[in-house]
Amino acid sequence: MDNPNPSALEINPGFNFSGVRALLLLVGVIALLGMMYLTQNSQAAMTGTRTLELQDRLERLRRENAQLEYEIAVLTTPDKIAERARRLGLRPATITQTVFIAINNYPAASKPASPATLAPTKSAAPMELLWNELLARLGLLSSGRTVEASP
């Protein structure tokens, strides 16, 4: 035994590495489980923080929306609209600027027209027939006659 570089096996020939391997494996599994636990807790904490931030943002947006609705309500009052119109140079129309249109026989009847009275006349133009048909379908035609405006 004159070997100047003795190996570990030669120093302690009864040493078993399987116990060391099992211990290292156990430490590795415990470290892996610890890392997984910490990762999950970290993700849960970040998700909770993000949820709180989003709730705060939602509350801020709700307050801002309520404030804007209030401002809209204030600005759409008739007094504010009239004031703004005056600042823009608008004014109420005078009687000379007002044009009245007289419509003959309007409303001609107070009861709804029956389908028999809605029948088109032979002398009506195709455009008048189409217009009367449209008005009748919408329920706006009170009689079978065409509404006329006087010049």
Q: Could you tell me which residue, 51 or 133, shows the higher pLDDT?
A: 51
**79 domain-assigned:** no
Can you tell me the distance from the alpha carbon of 72 to that of 111, in angstroms, rounded to the nearest whole number? Answer: 42
Torsion of CA 120, 126, 132, 135, to 10 degrees: 140
Domain enclosing residue 33, as ranges: 17-64
**110 domain-assigned:** no
**51 domain-assigned:** yes
Q: How many CA atoms lie within 13 A of 147 on its CB side?
A: 16
Q: Which pLDDT value is given to residue 146? A: 47
**29 domain-assigned:** yes
pTM of the model: 0.40
**58 domain-assigned:** yes
| Whether the predicted pLDDT of 7 surpasses 60 | no
| pLDDT tens, residue by residue, 16-70 | 778 888 899 999 999 999 999 999 999 999 999 999 999 999 999 999 999 999 9
| Whether the predicted pLDDT of 144 surpasses 50 | no
**22 domain-assigned:** yes
